[in-house]
Every structure is written in C-alpha cells, then in structure tokens.
Amino acid sequence: MTQAKKKPKEKAAVKAKRKRTRLSPEVRRKQILEAALAEFSAMGFAATSISRIAGRVGISKANVYVHFSSKDQIFETLLQSLSSVGKSQGSWSRIQEARDVSEFIDNLIDVTYEALTPEALAIMRLLISEGHRIPDVLAKWHEANLQGRAERQAAIDEQVAAGRMKANPLTEHFEFAMTPVVYAAVAKLTFGDAAAEEVERIKDTHRKLLRQLL
C-alpha cells in the first residue's frame, strides 16, 4: 500500500527510447515544473521521486539536474511560480463588469466555483500538505491575499455607499462571503468525485443566500 500503484519490478526491457531532443532551457523548465506539480500534488513532496518527474517529462533524471539544482529548488520554484497563478487576477475585474447586483452575484458565483479546477485544487492540496516547507512563500502569499481582499472590500464598500447593496455583516466583511468555496474545495480534495453533488448544492445555496443578503 505504501505505493498505491506498484509498477512491476522487472526492468522495463523495452524502453520507449526516444532520441534525445535538445530543447531550450525555458521550455524544459516549464515541462519539469508542470510534471512536478502533478506529482507533488498527487503524492506529496517526499513520496515524489525525481525519477517520476523525469519520466513524466520523458527525459533522464540527470537532465532534471541540468535545469534545477535540487528537488527542493524545484518545489520552491514551483510554489513561487504558482503564487501568481493563485491570485484570481483578472477574475475580479470580470466579476465587476456586472451591471446590477444580480448579475454581479452570478458572476461571482460562476467565476469562483469555476476556479476550482483540478490544477487549482492541486495547488491547494500542496499548500495544505507541504506548505510548511516554504514559510516565506506562504507569508508573501498571505500578504498578497490580504491586499487583494482589501481591494475587493473597498469595491463592495463603494457599492454599499452607493446604495446598490445592503449594509450588513456580510458587506462589512466581504471575504466571509467566499468561505463556502473553500468548503467546496476541501470536499473535492477529500472525497473527490463523491463530493460532486454536494458541491452543487453548496453552490446553489450560496447563490441564493447572496441574493437574499446583498
């Protein structure tokens, strides 16, 4: 059980021995990071071997070390590169394009739940399970989140001031409005497909409640 899918021990006699291809560093690095994200998220840092990452990319272990100096460095680079991804960058502006509150809520719900992509979930799992490896990155991330949050709060405050939204505990602390999404994410992370229905109901109630409250 230690390794969910034990590959047969026999050496793969027939190797798909693809001719060595020489790629630009940037491309290779990206390939490696992608493979690393997939593996780290699925297996955890310690259980992921450079071998597997290399295998997924289709290069040799040694070649990984041409592009990164250590497993740790891969991990850090990965998480750093992800901080940007995480930020629902463009999303917020898209959400705000709404012309009335109703449309705003729809946008909000749709965009946010759509953001629960497998990749985003992978990042989230990584943060939860291996975050302790990268306190600095986490701290920055946290900081960035706080700032983004402040901006969003400001936008809401404006709406309230303009009388387009009601003043209530939710508009005063708008971040709270998004907490159910985290629940949905955790449900997916933990129970996988078995959580699909549940997530739908959450999303539904979420939308209804926002309509009632905003």
142 binds its own copies (CB under 8 A): yes
Binding residues for DNA (CB under 7 A): 2, 9, 17, 19-25, 28, 48-51, 59-63, 65-67, 69-72
160 binds, among its own copies, DNA, none (CB under 5 to 8 A by kind): none
70 binds its own copies (CB under 8 A): yes
**Interacting residue with its own copies among 51, 58, 72, 96 (CB under 8 A):** 72
- Please report how close the Cβ of residue 84 comes to DNA at its closest, in angstroms: 24
5 or 9: whose CB is closer to DNA?
9
Give the DSSP per-residue string, the chain: --SSSPPPSS--SS---PPP----HHHHHHHHHHHHHHHHHHH-TTT--HHHHHHHHTS-HHHHHHH-S-HHHHHHHHHHHHHHHHS-HHHHHHHHT-SSHHHHHHHHHHHHHHT--HHHHHHHHHHHHHGGG-HHHHHHHHHHHHHHHHHHHHHHHHHHHTTSS--SHHHHTGGGGGHHHHHHHHHHHHHGGGGHHHHHHHHHHHHHHHHHH-
- Please report how close the Cβ of residue 11 comes to its own copies at its closest, in angstroms: 6
User: Given the rule CB under 8 A, which residues bind its own copies?
Assistant: 1-2, 4, 9-11, 42-47, 69-73, 76, 125, 127-133, 138-139, 142, 168-170, 172-173, 176, 179-180, 182-184, 186, 189-191, 194, 201-202, 204-206, 208-209, 212-213
